[in-house]
Chain A
Amino acid sequence: MENKPSSSPTSFVDQSVVPGDVVLDLSNMTNQTLKLGGGLRQDCDAISVMKAGKLRFSNPNKYWVESSQKRYVPHAGDSVLGIVVDSKADNFLVDIKGPGLAFLPVLAFEGGTRRNIPRFEIGTLLYVRVVKANPGMNPELSCTDASGKAAEFGQLKDGYMFESSTGLSRMLLSSPTCPVLDALGKKLSFETAVGLNGRVWVFILFLRPSYL
């Protein structure tokens, strides 16, 4: 472990790491801005791992540790499935399986104004995007994508929801399409929404509901 840090960071990428591993040595890299995602921490010049999992890198400069658990840690940019817990004047309180409830502003919908605030009853399932997720603060959500369009976000009607681990969700979302979904698609026609927080919603257009 001591030998590696000065070598190029790519040697650790896509490899399993455990807490305590030093994966990057900043003294070698100058004038670069790195984005550190979940599971990484900066100790002066060294980037060390906090969570066991696989180190991932995405261009141009983002590193994070990915692991499969039941618990979800909210990150900005994730698409998740949330359940409405309460509605306040300014936002809805939504449960996204994270450490705290998340806020969904009532205006965060495409074409949302004070006049057409949607009414969600308690227990409604929503497909939302995490806008802000700072540690210590409640995450903020939105039902639009970055450019303001609806893009399939919003309430999910009918169907059935079940919970899974975060790793399974990621696998279902991976590209090319996960073989499970392919195989199922051959037999049935269905619609599915997978949240990175470990929730999966399925809807099958049949006269009789069936299981997955």
Chain B
Amino acid sequence: METRLANIWRLTVNEKKFIETALQSDLRIDGRRPFDFRNISIKFSREEGSAEVQLGQTHVMAFVTAQLTQPYKDRPNEGTLSMFTEFSPMADPSFEPGRPSEAAVELGRVIDRGLRESRAVDTESLCVLSGKSVWAVRVDLHILDNGGNLVDAANIAALAALLTFRRPECSLGGEDGQQVIVHPPEVREPLPLIIHHLPIAVTFAFFSNESTVVVDPTHYEEAVMGGRMTATLNANNDICAIQKAGGEGVLQSVIMQCLRIAGQKAYDITTKIKNAVESYNTERALRKIKRHPSSVALDISGAGVNIGKNQNKPVPQKGDSERSNLTSEKSVADQSMDIEGEAKSSEQQQTNKIDGDAKNFIGGPSSWDPYPAGVNSDFLKASLASHGITMPSRKEQDSRGENMSGEAKPVEPPEDINVSSSNIEASETVLRTNGEKTLKDAVKPKNKRKMKSSSTSGR
């Protein structure tokens, strides 16, 4: 018992007085102004539907998963959205493992209310078979580090995860059309959730001195504050939820001012989330495109496809049918797929065309790429994934026509996962730096191989 007492973080009266005095002159201990948010960084992992958000020292992770279940009796046409929070003991000495504490329940409730009451996530689209089978989406929030203001950070993480989550496509089949068939991601491209708007939570802390209000309190400020309020708004200035549980009484004018400020912050944060999600989606589409040459090339042999292009993204998880689905479903991927498609069909003058298209489409990432996007990234991914396996040997593997081969698949994906499980941005920069070196290596062996294999590409 005593050891636990010793480990709790304590606030001294000196700190308390200092923070309050400083706030009277609009100074905060980390140098921010009263209405400044801390730096938000949003990262995604390779798994779809997981996001990691860092708000200053606060660190939160969100995971989204979905399962088919029976709907509620009074809502037979709607899917369900449920939120689970876990306050990991590593986040704060006062967090205990086991039953969620009051604060944990409150956090889950606030975020859940923001999403549910405002109908941000479209639950009707989650219905598969009315009255029998619907998708139940589950959001797990893990608090990894408590640096203050968990609600806001967890909210951003939940939104980012929901935006990048993809659920498997399913269709009705069977004799009576009542059986639900879930298509695995290899066969049909998974679908995103339909999210109408993004409700952003903005937390305010009130202090005992008159109307001192700050946005995004840190751990210290939370210990000193007299009351807090969380306002959830979206970028259109619609209020989705407000939570003020106890604490100091606050003037109505102060509340109105807070709501106005929250509106601005919500807009900023929405833009940040959207940018992060977009760059992640681009990244992912880019990865998929690189895979396609490998799978498509071998199937559409008639088009005289360049086997050399089968670089190692043997992730031959996508077959042909998937390819066509992909084109119909994903808009982002669409353009790139079409571009690649054209490129493949009109092989001969590829390089410039792909290059140009790739440049138009992708912008930044491919501008460093003097060679066709397809070749380049494949190669680099190969070099990263193989961790030292030589290029030519890899290619030989590919050229043996392993589209869906058993060997290539199990070997590659684990390596890929290892590689890209690190921060996507990091891998991108690594790709860039490796680009210079490996390109030349890349091209030469490729040419040699091309002469051997039956492709008709002219390079």
B10 pairs with A99, CB closer than 8 A: no
Residue in chain B with minimal CB distance to A96: B6
CA distance A208 to B18 in the complex (A): 10
Which residues of A sit under 8 angstroms from B14, Cβ to Cβ?
Answer: 125, 156-161, 201
Contact B2 A101 (CB under 8 A): yes
Within the complex, the shortest CB–CB distance from B224 to chain A, in Å, comes to: 11
A83 at the A/B interface (Cβ < 8 Å)? yes
Nearest CB of chain B from residue A27's CB, rounded to whole Å: 40
In the complex, the answer to whether A85 meets B13 with C-beta atoms within 8 Å is: no
Which residues of chain B have C-beta atoms less than 8 A from A158's C-beta? 14, 17-18
Minimum CB–CB distance for B93 against chain A, Å: 12
- Please provide the chain A residues from 93 to 147 with a CB less than 8 Å away from any CB of chain B in the complex: 93, 95, 98-101, 121, 123-125, 138
> Per a CB cutoff under 8 Å, which of B5, B6, B18, B27 touches A159?
B18
Q: Judge whether B21 and A98 touch: CB under 8 Å.
A: no
Complex contact B2–A100 (CB within 8 A): yes
* Cα A83 to Cα B12 with chains together (Å): 7
Q: B5-36 toward A: CB 8 Å interface, digit per residue (1/0)?
A: 11000111111111001100101010100000
Number of interface residues of A (CB under 8 A): 23
The reply to whether the CB of B252 lies closer than 8 angstroms to some CB of chain A is no
Q: List, in ascending order, chain B residues with CB within 8 A of A98's CB.
A: 6
- In the bound complex, how far is the Cα of B259 from the Cα of A171, in angstroms? 47
In the bound complex, do residue A83 and residue B10 qualify as a contact, i.e. CB atoms below 8 Å apart?
Answer: yes
Q: Is the CB of B13 within 8 A of A100?
A: no
Q: How far is the CB of A123 from chain B (nearest CB, A)?
A: 5
- Name the A residues within 8 Å of B2 (CB-CB): 100-101, 138
User: A85 touches which one: B3, B5, B18, B21 (CB < 8 A)?
Assistant: B5
Contact partners of B3 in chain A: CB under 8 A: 99-100
Across-interface contacts of A209 in B (CB, < 8 A)? 18, 21-22, 25, 27
CA distance A99 to B6 in the complex (A): 7
The reply to whether A124 and B13 form a contact with Cβ atoms under 8 Å apart is yes
Taking CB atoms, residues of chain B closer than 8 Å to A211 are: 27, 29, 31
Bound together, the chains give a CA A95 to CA B13 distance in angstroms of: 14
> Can you name 6 A-B pairs with beta carbons within 8 Å?
A83-B12, A95-B5, A99-B3, A209-B22, A211-B27, A211-B29
Which 6 A-B pairs have CB atoms at the shortest separation, nearest pair first?
Answer: A160-B18, A125-B12, A123-B13, A83-B10, A101-B6, A123-B12
